[in-house]
Chains A and B, each alone.
Chain A
Amino acid sequence: MRVPFTRSRLQPAGARPHSPAAAGRAVPSARSGGTRLGSGARRDARRRGGALMLGVAMLAALGLTACGSSDDGDSATPSDSASFAPGTTMARLHDAGKITIGTKFDQNYFGLKNLSGKPEGFDVEIAKIITDGLGIPRDHVNFVETVSANREPFIQQGRVDMVVATYTINDKRKKAVDFAGPYFIAGQSIMVAKNNTTITGKDSLAGKKVCSVSGSTPAENIRKVAPAAQLVLFDGYSKCADALKNGQVDAVTTDSVILLGIIDKDPEAFKLVGGTFTREPYGIGIHKGDTAFRTFINDTLEAAYKDGRWAKAFSSTVGKVVPNTPTPPPVDRYTS
């Protein structure tokens, strides 16, 4: 909880000058924050109105010059031709030419910060497919870290424009945010030491020490699936792997891709048992009620399914440990 707040206080201030309220806004308490949020939103709206006018003026100027010479547009953006109905989130982001996206910084193969400070992985690639569709240059895409517990607040407070962060779609979360996608179906599995023969799947975990991450969905799932197991919770799966190696726990459970990533680094020590026993559709979280934006993301995903960009994103990231590229899941255009 501590890290993201400081981080966000540092980052969006410079990155999103059109909404200074987001930077100065402290963690709002349930009651007193209400009024502050309200005035901030008003201020935002006024500034956005100004920005919109400015954007219109600039577009008009561009249009005039474009009449003179057809090829002096610098073609920096992947789809300059993108045009969106005024007032939509797409138009706002396209005109601003930048976007803030929440992703995991510690999730191997989905969102992992590399040595140069940029996140890499399947989620990041999916996010880039969307931002390309919005016509935003890649170097104007600002990734901020979201952890499991702060994804909804970040979306609700407008600190991020969307969240692509191994974000499982479920009904409770749908009350707070809306989901585009899913763009991937994950499944929870169990990892044990290579020489372990007593644990064969979720049904042989009674009395065993099972490790997962505190506050994670897999931890909640295993409470229901194997109530007799003894749950040990750390703040990261690498610690679970260490504990499994030391013999302090008997099994580690989370999404199979994450476990495959751990096994990939240490194939002599660990193995998967029992296949997957949950179905986790990963979606893209956006502000609740923004149906136009959701439809746009879903359309963009479907286009990427068709033209192979999705498969390319998969094979260059998760594909490193999952050799067979699966069929992409159909997007769920649910009505709430």
Chain B
Amino acid sequence: MPSGRNPGQGSTAIDAVLDNLDIFAEGFRRTVALSVLAAVAALLVGTALAAMRVSPVPPLRWFGTAYVQTVRNTPLTVMFFFVVFVLPQVGVVFSYFVFAVVALSIYHAALVCEAVRSGINGVDVGQAEAARALGLTFSQNLRLIVLPQAFRNVLQPLGSVLSALIRNTSIAAAFGVQELTGVVQRLTTANPDSVIAVLLGGMVGYLILTLALAGALALAERRAVTIR
């Protein structure tokens, strides 16, 4: 009767990670690039969407609402599928890396928009009224008075969105981008005797990113408090 043996555990298991550090590094770089580019794009687009949703122009409000409701209720995998396989059929062809950034940005922009909008709603109405009384236009009001306070209010939920974004980049592995998860899949196949070590290696990669994000957020929070 077979007992609970675990061949391949021990020093050889770690070798599977150490021998392939260059491959890990390459995947890690792609994950970082995907995360950073998609985060910047999602923050910009999401903030623009939030501005639309609170703007005095009804068509802009309608567009913002429709965007958020459509995108936020679509699974990210479906979004990827749409971008990677449907866009080329209408003549929009980019590299798979760009497609992945696009899909991630579209999806997380909706989440950023809702976080920022809740921040805007949390800013005292008196602030916007006072700004208007001083003669500031809508965009000046938003840019100089409301948004800076709104962002301070929603640092934590924004952090959650960005942290989710980092982990969601793993879906790109299924759509032509060999990032960290793709590398883990590749190395687990190549090293069947040390699957757990390879998985742990991949986990460490994601932890580096999410912990760095958490650190940055903690700094930002401390600064936000001192400004207030």
Contacts and interface: CB of A to CB of B under 8 A. Distances in A.
B189 A216 contact: yes
Contacts of A233: 173, 176, 178, 182
Interface in A224-282: 231-236, 239, 242-243, 246-248
Given A219-B186, A239-B85, A288-B7, A214 B2 contact: no
Contacts of B89: 246
A28 B195 CA distance: 11
Interface string A98-140: 0000000000000000000000000000000000000000000
B204 interface: no
The size bracket of the interface on A is 35 or more
B217 interface: no
Given A30-B13, A176-B8, A220-B186, A214 B174 contact: yes
A235 B174 contact: yes
Interface residues of B, number: 35
Nearest to A31: B9
Interface in A197-220: 214-217, 219-220
Nearest to B3: A41
Interface in B152-197: 173-176, 178, 182, 184-186, 188-193, 195-197
A46 interface: no
B70 to A, nearest CB: 23
B189 A217 contact: yes
Residue among A149, A231, A288 with the highest chain B CB neighbour number at 10 A: A149
Contact of A41 (B4, B13, B93, B193): B4
B186 A214 contact: yes
A5 to B, nearest CB: 12
Contact of A214 (B8, B93, B178): B178
B182 A37 contact: no
Contacts of A28: 196
Nearest to A247: B88
Contact of A234 (B176, B190, B192, B197): B176
A152 B193 contact: yes
Given A92-B1, A149-B185, A233-B176, A172 B96 contact: no
Contacts of A216: 189
Contacts of A236: 174
Nearest to B174: A235
A173 B4 contact: no
Contacts of B186: 214-215, 219-220
Residue among B5, B176, B199 with the highest chain A CB neighbour number at 10 A: B176
B21 interface: no
A96 to B, nearest CB: 12
Given A30-B197, A234-B176, A38 B4 contact: yes
Contacts of A41: 3-4
A320 B50 CA distance: 56
B193 to A, nearest CB: 4
B224 to A, nearest CB: 36
A216 B192 CA distance: 12
Contact of A172 (B6, B178, B191): B191
B66 interface: no
Interface in B1-25: 1-9, 13
Contact of B175 (A172, A176, A234): A234
A69 interface: no
A288 B5 CA distance: 9
6 contacts: A30-B197, A156-B6, A156-B7, A172-B191, A231-B178, A233-B173
Given A176-B193, A215-B188, 15 more contacts: A89-B2, A149-B185, A150-B195, A156-B5, A158-B4, A175-B8, A177-B192, A215-B185, A217-B189, A219-B186, A220-B189, A234-B174, A239-B174, A246-B85, A246-B89
Interface of B: 1-9, 13, 85, 88-89, 93, 96, 173-176, 178, 182, 184-186, 188-193, 195-197, 199-200
Interface of A: 1, 28-30, 34, 37-38, 40-41, 45, 48, 87, 89, 92, 148-153, 156-158, 172-173, 175-177, 214-217, 219-220, 231-236, 239, 242-243, 246-248, 287-290
**10 nearest A-B pairs in the assembled complex, by CB-CB distance:** A215-B185, A235-B174, A287-B2, A41-B4, A176-B193, A152-B192, A149-B188, A175-B193, A215-B189, A246-B88
